Structure 1
Amino acid sequence: MGSCSIRVSLVAAALAVHIAAPAQAARIDYTVDAGVEHDDNVRLTPVDADSQRILRAGLGFLVTQDGSAVQAAVAGRADYRDFQGGLDDGVEGMLSAYLNWVLLQDRLSFTVQDELELQAIDRYAADAPDNRQQVNVLSAGPNFLFDLGSLHGRLEARWIDTRAEVTDEFDSSRVGVALRLTREFDDRSRLGFNAQWTDTDYDQPLLARDHQRTDVYARFERQQAHIDYAIDAGYSWLDYADGETRDSPLLRLEAGWRQGERNRISLALAYQFSDAADQALVDGAAGRPEATVPGGVLVDGGAIVPSVYRLQRAALAWDHAGERFGLRTEAYAQRLRYVDAFVPDEDDRGLLLALTYRLAPSVTLAGWADFEWIEYRQLGAEDEARRIGLSLEKSWTRHWSTSLSYYRYERDSGVLDNEVRQNVWYLWMSYRNRPR
């Protein structure tokens, strides 16, 4: 993990915990685990696979507070791996932190958001230990609240810093402002107007182009007994330092339908400009209502490139939460059209299936399968990845448990013209400070 990423992320996490602690209202959940792993292709090479035994230890945590003065959610995970030959031992981590500190009630607050992720260095290569880097996106700034008759106003100012451990062209400093006006019709519906502007200054302008982005859009939200939805509609403009300009409609839809208390179907549609830093802040795990203690450090599938792209995405998901059986299915399709020609456009498709089944009060079986297809249009090649996992967990007490898991990874690369196969077994014991 890069020292810069560690330093910035620890500052954000420490700030959130320090501010939340005096109120004695913060909830802290954590899990400590350790075990032994067997990997039959630890370097993820298409030939001459290297089989190794790996000793592992990890710490995951979630700190939350929802008070009148502080609203905070900090989810993090650190994993240590001790390789038995060849590869360097080390720590990999992730952090998703959100903090809103109210300085003057209904008038002034200060918001910090930090997203530390593990990303691929070479987007066309397999997810090997030596093809990973820490990427950090930090956003901070004040919020000024005011009223204009029946309208609630919010003026935001943000400084955003982006850093990658290896991909230096991603490094940048950004400043932005946003004006938001909202009219609440009742407890279930509201209409808002949003105007936001961001100026991006890259550290290496020869590899990435400085630009300004302006978004203007209206947002309508409504929650009903069984249906909730939010619609954004507007327009975006890009102004580059070299004189080039781009513009595009901005359309987003998030909708959910609840069938009873156990089933929910959700739909998400998007047509907009985006980039890797913007997407990291939008996808932050800490700010979600269902935030939990991270069970592992995952490598994000996004591409860490500085170029802005036009995103077209559709995703459909179904969640079922039964007394003994839980199920989640999600399918998505998206197109990424990069503004800069040096980055190949992508057509992506994906399918996820995850389930849990409680065999007995203290025994849980879980399984999941993930399929992904990425077509690189200018390269005329497609990468296909398949991931399948299965785990069995036994709870010995309310806090202690033991798990055995199996994971298989298959990747067929049309870009590198190779095939990679990997099988991983992991046996570990964990301690949770709060029972599930």
Structure 2
Amino acid sequence: MGRSRIRTSLIAAAVAVALAAPVAAHAARISYVVDAGVEHDDNVRLDAVEPDSQVIMRAGVGFVATQEGSTVQAVVTGRADYRHFEEGVDNGVEGVLSAYLNWVMVPERLSFAIQDELELQAIDRFAPDSPDNRQQVNVLSLGPNFLFHVGDTLQGRLEARYIDTHAEVTDEFNSNRIGAALRVAKAFDENSSLGVNAQWTDVDYDQDLVARDHERIDLYAHYVRVLANTDYAIDAGYSRLDYDDGERRTGPLLRLEAGWRPGERTRLSLALVDQFSDAADTALIEGVADRSAASIPEGVLVDDSAVIASAYREQRVSFAWAYSGERLGWRVQPYAQRLRYIDAQQPDEEVQGVLLGLDYRFRPDLTLRAWAGGERVDYTLLDAQEDTRRAGLTLEKHWTRHWSTSLSYFRYERDSDILADVHQNIWYIWMSYSNRPR
């Protein structure tokens, strides 16, 4: 596994270096954090019968680099963590990276875009989240953008993309994709716009026994309106998947994001999704290219689900209620999701959950952060159910503008009809240095 992990990490590292070079030349803003500490994990392998308790030495570095110039616009965030175990588990480095660069070759006419997403995901979705059940997954997208005008009021954009997907262990995810998109938009005023989009993608898997090669077509309208206390964006249209073996799937494409600010510090938001998707699409959509305020990753997190090559029908709704005060901030987010995989060997999922977060600042230099989450997953074809509960606390003390120490606790519980029930407790104390005051 080690050799493959190095290969995948180098793909993302090469993109990061390529992005950082022009960024540095144009005085980009670069922030980083270096930290090291000691962790105690009472169940490293999430074993229900013989828990393995270990003291783990950790060191990590996280960064974010941004550039907003007339020629180069770039955002790169990443983190790498090294863990040294007492015994029985291989020491090693795990990392995540999200990078986006747009190079303007001819102003208002031609640009070239690169996006790279390196994630850490589970190998087996039904096995415990142990160090032996993790792999690096990389999605790289690149291609030109041609800009044009239709009359005096319409702006057009023609995109061409090559996309490479690579998983360290799950070879059936590996693929080469080519795509094109035509987008035409009209701005009614500075607060609202309407666009029409046509997209085509051809997906060619290296191995097509698990997931089949196919073409996908999306046609949809995109409307955005932003006011003082409300904002919303709507995508509405149609999608079609044509498989090489002759099968065809069609369905609506609907995406809605709406927000309301009843007070200066309070925000309510709603998100609805009904669409075809797959793991590569999700990685690119959730990547840094669509983040308005990129930040340094706080840790190398394992995705909740394993990477799956099959396309699926996704239906999701989530609601969030957030408050941000001078001392106190909190967030409540219930959600529900249904996934219907097109390739029959993948069990469908129905998910319900809630996320809770709380921040409290005792003093300007002392902050407590708490969070909790609960989720229930029903695997309909397996007639099985899995409940997971997670909770954490972090107390952070700033000694100077750059140096701080933190103590955190994490609790994990799983009740499953597929796996044995397990629980885990993690304590972690560390010191960190930031090149910019936090």
Q: Report the TM-score range of the alignment, normalised by the length of the smaller protein.
A: over 0.9
Q: Which amino acid aligns with 1:61?
A: F
Q: Which amino acid aligns with 1:101?
A: W
Could you say which residue in structure 2 is the equivalent of 1:342?
345
CA distance in 1, matches of 2:74, 2:22: 9
Following TM superposition, by how much is the alpha carbon of 1:82 offset from its aligned partner in structure 2, in angstroms?
0.2
Deviation digits for residues 203-227 of structure 1 (CA, Å, limit 9, x no counterpart): 0122321000000001111011111
CA distance in 1, matches of 2:392, 2:286: 23
Following TM superposition, by how much is the alpha carbon of 1:286 offset from its aligned partner in structure 2, in angstroms?
5.4
Q: Is 1:122 the counterpart of 2:119 in the alignment?
A: no
Could you say which residue in structure 2 is the equivalent of 1:109?
111
Counterpart secondary structure, 1:299 = coil
Q: Is 1:135 the counterpart of 2:127 in the alignment?
A: no
The 5 A counterparts of 1:8-47 are 8-24=11-27, 26-47=28-49
Could you say which residue in structure 2 is the equivalent of 1:317?
320
Could you say which residue in structure 2 is the equivalent of 1:422?
424
Could you say which residue in structure 2 is the equivalent of 1:74?
76
The 5 A counterparts of 1:16-415 are 16-24=19-27, 26-149=28-151, 150-285=153-288, 287-415=290-418
1:126–1:411 CA contact under 8 A, matched in 2:
no
After superposition, the CA RMSD in angstroms is 1.0
CA distance in 1, matches of 2:168, 2:407: 33
Following TM superposition, by how much is the alpha carbon of 1:4 offset from its aligned partner in structure 2, in angstroms?
2.7
TM-score of the superposition, structure 2-length normalised? 0.98
Following TM superposition, by how much is the alpha carbon of 1:156 offset from its aligned partner in structure 2, in angstroms?
0.2
Runs of 4+ deviating beyond 2 Å: none
Q: Aligned residue pairs: how many?
A: 434
Counterpart secondary structure, 1:48 = coil
Q: Which amino acid aligns with 1:56?
A: R
1:114–1:138 CA contact under 8 A, matched in 2:
yes
Q: Which amino acid aligns with 2:94?
A: E
Could you say which residue in structure 2 is the equivalent of 1:435?
437
1:31–1:59 CA contact under 8 A, matched in 2:
yes
Counterpart secondary structure, 1:57 = strand
TM-score of the superposition, structure 1-length normalised? 0.98
Following TM superposition, by how much is the alpha carbon of 1:258 offset from its aligned partner in structure 2, in angstroms?
1.8
Deviation digits for residues 338-363 of structure 1 (CA, Å, limit 9, x no counterpart): 11110011001121111110111211
2:42–2:51 CA contact under 8 A, matched in 1:
yes
2:75–2:288 CA contact under 8 A, matched in 1:
no
2:166–2:175 CA contact under 8 A, matched in 1:
yes
CA distance in 1, matches of 2:167, 2:146: 31
1:312–1:336 CA contact under 8 A, matched in 2:
yes
Following TM superposition, by how much is the alpha carbon of 1:69 offset from its aligned partner in structure 2, in angstroms?
1.2
Identical amino acids, percent of aligned pairs: 63
Following TM superposition, by how much is the alpha carbon of 1:264 offset from its aligned partner in structure 2, in angstroms?
1.3
CA distance in 1, matches of 2:119, 2:32: 19
CA distance in 2, matches of 1:273, 1:422: 35
2:115–2:289 CA contact under 8 A, matched in 1:
no
CA distance in 1, matches of 2:113, 2:332: 34
Deviation digits for residues 313-353 of structure 1 (CA, Å, limit 9, x no counterpart): 00111221111111122111010011111001100112111
Deviation digits for residues 18-74 of structure 1 (CA, Å, limit 9, x no counterpart): 1212212x1001000000000111111011111100000000000011111111110
